[in-house]
């Protein structure tokens, strides 16, 4: 009976009844029920499994959940048996029953013996193909991952280095400003000024805080010169240290005349130095807050990009992913690249593997910048289209020739040197969009305008249930 069942399956076309009987000898017919696992991802692939009837799902564990990567519902579909060709071969997914059905379980040794007897050259070809493909895939993926990681790490280091260096400079300058404040207060106390005089000076300082600050560099330089002249005329020895912060705060000569009416002699220099020190400290604190805010923003962008603190499938705003990817690639988006954002209003969130979509945006944006040779216009656009969200990433580069665009999604296809590239092929981007999210990705290219258009469904397709 089992031999008759196998004879009706196209996979075994060309085998004689005796050959099918040999295959069945040493093999086992296994019945399965919905929800039952026949083999599990990561285990040694000791058996070759051939579907006779029924339906199963191949499931892979991705992130925090199981994802259906393929459905078996056609007799003759098969998996496993890799140890017939490679002693380290493992199952790439878990086979889980959807309906009741049957499979033929063939030990890898039996499969190897039958191939040796019936078609020895075929076994050697399969063995060589399996070994070569696995080696190429492993090496290519490892290199791609390292290149991508290296680029992102270098870019992030560059982005963080600037605000970190600015923060270090601000801290050093703030230390100096605080020392000056303490020194000037000591001098004021030594000058035995009255509490009323100090209060009057502080009132003048607070008034200056609300004055309009000079923004024009030339006007600011002229104001510094005027203040330096006035300070020198009044015997202020450290005019070079006092004039710049006073001018930066919008203080003019008239204000200094009022201060001279409150303090005289050595107390005037100490008082003006104290006022200048308060303004310097305030500016430095503001700078320090901005640099810390910038670093915090970068950390938030990295967290958003990597989705380290999020569930694998989640409802996301694709705009957030595009923006965090721009931050990660900030070192490549130089002054010669103009970023045009055309984010549509009312674009819904989508159910997606956010980290994987961010990999797609990384690839497409990186390729767009490379296509423009670092100079041009980068377009990022989103809009709602029925049950889909459309994401467009465009560039003003020379465009793709038709023969290149036709092969752009082929595995391992590239027009770049080995030292270049995004580290994530368009074939993988297509798999993420199409197979993982049920969407589409297309290319519209002509000289001066290339657009990669991605359609992502608002709701991910649910696996069918038998």
Q: How confident is the model at residue 309 (pLDDT cuts 50, 70, 90)?
A: very low
Task: Note the pLDDT tens digit of each residue in 58-97.
Answer: 888 765 567 788 888 999 888 888 777 777 778 888 999 9
Residue 317: what pLDDT?
A: 92
Say which CATH topology domain 2-118 has: Jelly Rolls (2.60.120)
Residue 456: what pLDDT?
A: 93
Residue 116: what pLDDT?
A: 82
Q: How confident is the model at residue 466 (pLDDT cuts 50, 70, 90)?
A: very low
For the chain, give every domain's residue range: 2-118, 160-298, 312-457
Domains 2-118 and 312-457 share a fold: no
- The pTM of the whole model exceeds 0.75: no
* Statement: residue 296 has pLDDT above 70: yes
| Range from 235-239, 351-355, 432-436 that averages highest in pLDDT | 235-239
Q: How confident is the model at residue 257 (pLDDT cuts 50, 70, 90)?
A: very high
State percent of the chain over pLDDT 90. Answer: 27
Q: What is the 3-state secondary structure (H, E, C) of the chain?
A: CHHHHHHCCHHHCCCCHHHHHHHHCCCEEEEECCCCEEECCCCECCEEEEEEECCEEEEEEECCEEEEEEEECCCCCEEECHHHCCCCCECCCEEEECCCEEEEEEEHHHHHHHHHHHCHHHHHHHHHHHHHHHHHHHHHHHHHHHHHHHHHHHHHHHHHHHHHHHHHHHHHHHHHHHHHHHHHHHHHHHCCCCHHHHHHHHHHHHHHHCCCCCCCHHHHHHHHHHHHHHHHHCCCCCHHHHHHHHHHCCCCHHHHHHHHHHCCCHHHHHHHHHHHHHHHHHHHHHHHHHHHHHHHHHHHHHHHHHCCCCCCEEEECHHHHHHHHHHHCCCCCCCCEEEEEEECCCCCCEEEEHHHHHHHHHHHHHHHHHHCCCCEEEEEEEEEECCEEEEEEEECCCCCCHHHHHHCCCCCCCCCCCCCCCCCCHHHHHHHHHHHCCCEEEEEEECCEEEEEEEEECCCCCCCCC
The structural architecture, per CATH, of the domain 312-457 is 2-Layer Sandwich (3.30)
Task: Note the pLDDT tens digit of each residue in 319-337.
Answer: 988 988 888 787 778 788 9
């Amino acid at each position: 009976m089992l031999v008759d069942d196998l004879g009706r399956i196209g996979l075994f076309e060309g085998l004689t009844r005796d050959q099918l009987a040999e295959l069945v000898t040493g093999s086992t017919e296994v019945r399965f029920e919905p929800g039952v696992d026949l083999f599990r991802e990561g285990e040694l692939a000791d058996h070759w499994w051939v579907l006779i009837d029924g339906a199963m799902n191949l499931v892979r564990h991705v992130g925090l959940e199981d994802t259906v990567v393929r459905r078996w519902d056609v007799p003759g579909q098969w998996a496993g048996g890799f140890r017939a060709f490679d002693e380290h071969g493992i199952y790439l997914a878990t086979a889980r029953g959807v309906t009741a059905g049957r499979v033929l379980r063939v030990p890898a040794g039996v499969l190897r013996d039958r191939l040796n007897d019936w078609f020895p050259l075929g076994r050697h070809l399969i063995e060589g193909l399996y070994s070569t493909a696995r080696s190429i895939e492993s090496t290519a993926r490892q290199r791609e991952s390292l290149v991508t990681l290296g680029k992102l790490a270098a870019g992030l280091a560059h982005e963080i280095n600037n605000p970190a260096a600015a923060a270090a400079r601000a801290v050093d300058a703030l230390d100096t400003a605080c020392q000056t404040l303490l020194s000037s207060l000591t001098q004021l106390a030594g000058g035995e000024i009255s509490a009323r005089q100090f209060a009057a000076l502080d009132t003048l300082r607070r008034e200056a805080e609300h004055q309009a600050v000079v923004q024009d560099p030339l006007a600011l330089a002229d104001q510094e010169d005027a203040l330096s002249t006035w300070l020198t005329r009044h015997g202020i020895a450290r005019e070079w240290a006092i004039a710049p912060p006073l001018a930066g705060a919008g203080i003019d000569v008239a204000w200094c005349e009022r201060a001279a009416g409150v303090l005289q002699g050595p107390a005037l220099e100490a008082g003006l130095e104290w006022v200048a020190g308060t303004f310097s400290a305030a500016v430095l604190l503001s700078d320090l807050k901005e640099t810390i805010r910038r670093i915090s923003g970068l950390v938030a962008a990295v967290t958003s990009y990597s989705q380290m603190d999020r569930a694998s499938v989640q409802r996301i705003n694709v705009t957030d992913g595009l923006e965090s990817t721009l931050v990660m690639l900030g070192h490549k988006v130089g002054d010669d690249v103009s970023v045009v954002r055309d984010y549509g209003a009312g674009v819904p969130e989508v159910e997606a593997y956010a980290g994987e979509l961010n990999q797609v945006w990384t690839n497409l944006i990186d390729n767009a910048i490379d296509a423009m040779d670092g100079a041009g216009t980068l377009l990022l656009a989103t809009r709602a289209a029925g049950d889909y969200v459309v994401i467009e990433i465009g560039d003003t580069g020379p465009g793709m020739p038709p023969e290149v665009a036709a092969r752009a999604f082929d595995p391992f296809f590239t027009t770049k040197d080995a030292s270049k590239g995004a580290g994530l092929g368009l074939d993988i981007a297509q798999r993420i969009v199409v197979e993982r999210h049920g969407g589409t990705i297309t290319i519209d290219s002509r000289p001066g305008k290339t657009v990669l258009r991605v359609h992502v469904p608002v709701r991910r397709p649910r696996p069918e249930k038998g």
